[in-house]
Structure 1
């Protein structure tokens, strides 16, 4: 029987004396695309994907808090079952065209080059923002996050 996100978090938090911390659940990719979620989850657990990004306007559109350094998330797989815990170790606001080649590489998608990241991200961010009747511009700031796996189920 699979452990619940709450149980995994409670065990982890107690063993690391994190009495003042809370968690949220999180997955990467479109929930409706289980293949994408599986691929990204595997990359995260393998340590290949250590960076991610979204337009700043995405967070306000979803009324979702921007990830902060020290935030913990129970990582969910494509079946929405917990597979680990990740921690945000960097969260910074960066203009789209100032996102670094290092961040693009650590995003671990496409061919891992900055130009490929920019091309894919423009398309992905535009699609994300259209869901909120908003346009994405390459002048918009992007939340660039670095994550690390701190626990595997």
Structure 2
């Protein structure tokens, strides 16, 4: 029976600065996009195909794997890591599998960072409300990272979203006073902002001032229109709706009240 470790247990070991060896068996491109990093962690990428070959070739060895000491094996969800761990344990390696893999790890560290940042914010803002929302910008890691950085820098103090999606999903609109925890592309909390103005206007009535406050590109209205027409068109296509220049847009203005 292969030993398992949860994301929370691994996080606590890293926080305690324990020396650990992690073997990530995902493909190199996935590994390069994201992997677990810490000062006391030695993280090794050995694609699972290399470990699978050990089953049929008893003479084959993987010199990059330490023979002494525990290795924590991880993959995307834990399934491939479990198979690799079974093979390696048959070669007398001391192995443990990260339960749920990188997916579980990301979920845990995101949740932990959100709760920690909110508690830190509340410690200096005792009148802060109990409720907040946590989210990231855009639809990609790169966009989330770039726009979150603009918020932390103080450049971005506004955002806009597609009113139609709120309507279709029966979601309440953001309101003045709402506190938002901004996440980066890995789901890590980087800032808290508070809404100071919310209004719904047609796409073609979004102002130059609002475009400037969004802080993106050259901060012009033309840039805002070009980028958001593409973004909203793609969103609407997914719900079988068409873009037009009078679609309602939710325009939020906010202030940065805490950064991590």
Q: Same fold (TM over 0.5)?
A: yes
Rounded to whole Å, the distance in 1 between the matches of 2:191 and 2:129 is: 20
Shift of 1:14: 4.5
Structure 2's unaligned 5+ residue stretches are: 1-14, 16-108
Aligned length: 151
> Where does residue 100 of structure 1 map in the other structure?
207
Equivalent of 2:133, from 13, 24, 41?
24
TM-score by length of 1: 0.88
| Farther-moved stretch of structure 1 (40-49 vs 104-113) | 104-113
List structure 1 segments (4+ residues) > 6 angstroms apart after TM superposition: none
Rounded to whole Å, the distance in 1 between the matches of 2:151 and 2:117 is: 18
Secondary structure of the residue aligned to 2:196 is strand
Secondary structure of the residue aligned to 1:85 is strand
> Where does residue 119 of structure 1 map in the other structure?
226
Alignment of 1:70-89 (within 5 A): 70-89=177-196
The Cα RMSD (Å) is 1.8
Equivalent pair of 2:156/2:214 in contact (CA under 8 Å): yes
Shift of 1:110: 2.6
Q: Work out which of the two has the higher radius of gyration on C-alpha atoms and give 1 or 2.
A: 2
Shift of 1:37: 1.1
Equivalent of 1:49, from 156, 165, 187?
156
The superposition leaves residues 25-67 of structure 1 with CA deviations (integer Å, 9 ceiling, x where unpaired) of 111121xx21211111111110111111112112123333211
| Farther-moved stretch of structure 1 (37-46 vs 2-11) | 2-11
Rounded to whole Å, the distance in 2 between the matches of 1:92 and 1:59 is: 14
Structure 1's unaligned 5+ residue stretches are: none
TM-score by length of 2: 0.54
The superposition leaves residues 106-128 of structure 1 with CA deviations (integer Å, 9 ceiling, x where unpaired) of 11223221122122211111111
Secondary structure of the residue aligned to 1:4 is helix
Relative contact order, higher structure (CA 8 A, sep 6+): 1
